[in-house]
Structure 1
Amino acid sequence: MAAESTPAITEPGSTGSRRRGKGRRRKARGTGSRALRATAVTAAGVVVLGGAGAGYVYFKLNGNLHSVDINQALGADRPTKIDNGSENILVLGSDTRAGKNRKLGGGTDDGSARSDTAMIVHVYEGHKKASVISIPRDTLVDRPACTDTKGTTHSAATGVMFNESYSTGGAACAVKTVESITGIRMDHYLEVDFEGFQQLVDDLGGVRVTTTEDIRDPQSHLDLKAGPHTLDGEQALGLVRTRHGVGDGSDLGRIQLQQAFIKALIDQVKHVGVLSNPKKLLDLADTATKAVTTDSELGSVNALMDFAGGLKGIGSDRMKMVTMPVQYDPANPNRVLLDKAKAQLVWDALKQDRDIPKSATKGTATGEAKGVVN
């Protein structure tokens, strides 16, 4: 039976509470993970560049961008594109150990990479609201055979952790796995790394959050007293990485922290005043374009501006955030299994561009993370 929901995170405007789950779980080994709603941050820094008008700025930012050709790698064996005005974007936080990220990531420094944060962002027709579905990295899945962007084919695997898809075949295999799980074609792909996320928060001037209890986690370099805080980039990275500092030490609990922080981040973008501060605008745009890797269709400043422009009206109050329906694995308390029946309610809602029903997540595993209140 799944653990019940816990008070974990109170979303903005929420006054209700949820009971602590009855089950106890062994604390999992901490690993790097990031937030990420890269699209919202990019919207703040990039969409307004249309008014900058400087050719130098355009070419500089265009040169910052990295893209991967997902369509070429995956070919025609994909779900049919849903043509109803909605968009589905896979957003990953890449846990690369290469370059400067070795210092931020901890653990090994062999240059390997994982995707410890994964979210499906569904933007509804009209681009006035969105649903975000977090995929727990500890979910055991059947990974389909896939071909990466270098042309290397990787065999299918059964019962492996979700984030193994990215470490095996990069962005293309991660997209292939998500499409296999959901039956939904991902229209776009966005990825952000450790260093980029930390710098984005610093360029924004920090992000305001309130913690309901002390959070201390030496592994993620986090030490916060209960109360209001304006987190700098290093602290923000620590918050979205921590799993020992709060709750039961699970990835599900960490997802609750990440979701609360993302809403605070979006609110901060709205209040930071980049439109009236050209230097802050350009610093943010420079950092954002360096921080993200996109699919090839978004691989230019013009394309990214158009895309981000379509998202800029979606505030945190117009964003529904849930965790993919899962249950704890009876054989291993540090792993979770897809609740296929309830997950199908989520996928059907996205396909039909409808709100996710409450029944889709009722009774599913949620973890414990008493932490952030926006």
Structure 2
Amino acid sequence: MSQDTRGGGHRAAGRRRRKQPVRRKALTIAAWSAAGVVLLGGGSLGYFYFKLNGNLKTVDINQALGTDRPQNADNGSMDILVLGSDSRGGANGEYGQDDGGSARSDTAMIVHLYDGHKKASVVSIPRDALVTRPSCAVTGSKKTDPGGPRHMFNESFTIGGAACAVKTVEKMSGIRMDHYIEVDFTGFKKIIDNLGGVEVTTTKPIKDGASHLDLASGTNHLNGEQALGLVRTRKSVGDGSDLGRIQLQQAFIKALIKQVKSIGIFDNPKRLVDLADTSTKALTTDTQLGNVKALAGFAQSLQGIDAQNMQMITLPVGADVRDPDRVVPLTKESKMVWDALLAEQSIPAEATANSMGDKGKAGEIVR
């Protein structure tokens, strides 16, 4: 398959997007996983290149999906699917057992970087949203799952791993994902601990037995375990659904970005190296991002964005009439979201006005 190069890596054949200038302003953008932290370190890794390269795990999305994908955009934008995996394998076993023995996408966010990479929109997809899943090759077998309507979104990852998750998102949105980044529970904890923790302010106490979180009202300095508990909490905030948890995750990401900018990672070489080592061990990426050189180039394209020019929404959803424990994307409003991103426009407020996803108060609990 022919490929061309962009942002320090490669992409599938198609129209080349304009090369982005290097930005000086420090920033991280990646979902709750803090995957962007390692990207910021990429340009300073030096002789650690080969060691860090060996840490990374990759998935060849282009080979798996072939030509059955949306066309590459030619407008300077970039789209990344960021997944938090709930795999209980290895050190993650302390969080319980996988249902059915397979991991699922506990968190899913589409990060859209606009032309010039000075602003971004982040669209969270509820894990329990019922979507039409395309046919996907089943992980670890020669079988193909036919897919079909009314499948939970996070089952795509369970059935066919990263490739099926990307394929599902692309069929939903009509937007080609340029990159894929995944992190698991243990990796997330270690990244936060290497950062020295993250400070958040809670407007009321949070106590959640399921996520083992117990925070007092006010300023809290979270270590990795507590940060993981926060982004997994749902039953004790908002309406107790995954929609409330998404709002907590989005609030935490903004706190995380502030933390990364405030601690001077580049002023502490040891911290930088430790963080890069931990982060690369925690990540699974598409093959185009699966080396330090590509990550460094990608980092350069992110450095013009800050928290205040990052728009974060939940995919517009409403209650499913057949199952009260599930939600379904609102057709008209979801199309408004995808159309806005394809047209390089901000997502209009009208798109989320009638959605259950952005009406809760969970996001107001953490600042």
Query: Does the aligned pair in 2 maintain the 1:98–1:109 contact within 8 Å?
Result: no
Tell me which of 219, 238, 256 is aligned to 1:247: 238
**Counterpart residue type for residue 106 of structure 2:** D
Alignment of 1:94-173 (within 5 A): 94-103=85-94, 105-108=95-98, 112-147=102-137, 152-173=143-164
For 1:144, the aligned partner's letter is: P
Q: Relative to 1, partners in 2 of residues 1:310 and 1:63: Cα closer, same or farther, differing over 3 Å? A: same
Q: Which residues of 2 match residues 21-36 of structure 1 at below 5 A? A: 36=32
SS in 1 for 2:234: coil
Q: Which amino acid aligns with 1:193?
A: D
Alignment partners' CA distance in 1, 2:308 and 2:33: 15
Q: Closer, same or farther in 2 for the Cα pair 1:342/1:109, shift >3 Å?
A: closer
Letter in 2 for 1:344: K
- The answer to whether structure 1 residue 212 and structure 2 residue 203 are counterparts is yes
1:46 and 2:7 aligned: no
Where does residue 304 of structure 1 map in the other structure? Answer: 295
1:81-110 Cα offsets, whole Å, 9 max, x none, are: 11110001000001111100111x324487
Deviation of 1:332 after TM superposition, in Å, equals 2.0
Q: Paired residue for 1:18?
A: none
Q: Which amino acid aligns with 2:32?
A: L
Shift in Å, 1:41: 1.9
Asked if 1:373 is matched to 2:366, the reply is yes
State the one-letter code of the partner of 1:278: P
1:193 and 2:184 are equivalent in the alignment? yes
Distance 1:370 1:80, change over 3 A: closer
1:257 match: 248
CA contact (8 A) 1:43 1:305 kept: yes
Distance 1:328 1:320, change over 3 A: same
Structure 2 equivalent of residue 269 of structure 1: 260
Gaps of 5+ in 1: 1-33
CA distance in 2, matches of 1:313, 1:358: 24
Q: What percentage of aligned pairs have identical amino acids?
A: 60
Shift of 1:218: 1.3
Q: How far, CA to CA, are the matches of 2:280 and 2:143 in structure 1?
A: 28
Distance 1:313 1:35 in 2: 17
Distance 1:370 1:273 in 2: 27
**Letter of the aligned partner of 1:119 in structure 2?**
M
The answer (yes or no) to whether the contact 1:246–1:370 under 8 Å persists in 2 is no
AA matched with 2:126 = P
The alignment of Structure 1 onto Structure 2 pairs a total of residues equal to 335
Give 1:193 shift: 0.6
Q: What CA distance in whole angstroms lies between the structure 1 residues aligned with 2:104 and 2:218? A: 33
Are 1:362 and 2:346 counterparts?
A: no
Name the residue aligned to 1:286: 277
Match of 1:238 among 229, 233, 240: 229
Aligned to 2:338: 347
Matched residue of 2:204: which SS? coil
- Which shifted more, 69-78 or 111-120? 111-120
The yes-or-no answer on 1:84 pairing with 2:80 is: no
| Aligned residue in 2 for 1:8 | none
* Partners of 1:131 and 1:152 in 2: CA distance: 36
**Which letter does structure 1 place at the counterpart of 2:294?**
A
- In 2, the alpha carbon distance for the partners of 1:148 and 1:61 equals 30
The 2-side partners of 1:226 and 1:237 are apart by 18
Contact 1:90/1:190 (<8 A) preserved:
yes
Cα drift, residue 370 of structure 1: 5.8
The structure 1 segments of at least 4 consecutive aligned residues displaced by more than 4 Å after TM superposition are 107-111, 148-152
- Tell me the SS of whatever aligns to 1:333: coil
- For residues 331-369 of structure 1, what are the alpha-carbon distances to aligned partners after superposition, in whole Å with 9 as ceiling and x for unaligned? 222110110100111101111111111111111113442
Quote the residue 1:223 is aligned against.
214
Contact 2:35 2:279 in 1 (8 A): no
Counterpart AA for 2:125: I
Separation in 1, partners of 2:148, 2:262: 46
> What is the letter of the counterpart of residue 283 of structure 2?
V
Q: Shift in Å at residue 311 of structure 1? A: 0.9
Alignment partners' CA distance in 1, 2:350 and 2:364: 25
Cα drift, residue 304 of structure 1: 0.9
Aligned equivalents of 1:132, 1:280: Cα separation in 2: 28
Rounded to whole Å, the distance in 2 between the matches of 1:110 and 1:283 is: 35
Residue pair 1:68, 1:149 contacting (<8 A) in 2 also: no
Note the C-alpha offset of 1:159. 0.6
Runs of 5+ unmatched residues, structure 2: 1-29
Alpha-carbon distance in 1 for matches of 2:346, 2:69: 24
Q: CA deviation at 1:119?
A: 0.3
**Aligned in 2, Cα 1:338/1:156: closer, same or farther, shift over 3 Å?**
same
Q: What is the aligned-residue RMSD (CA, Å)? A: 1.7
Give the AA of the match of 1:142.
T
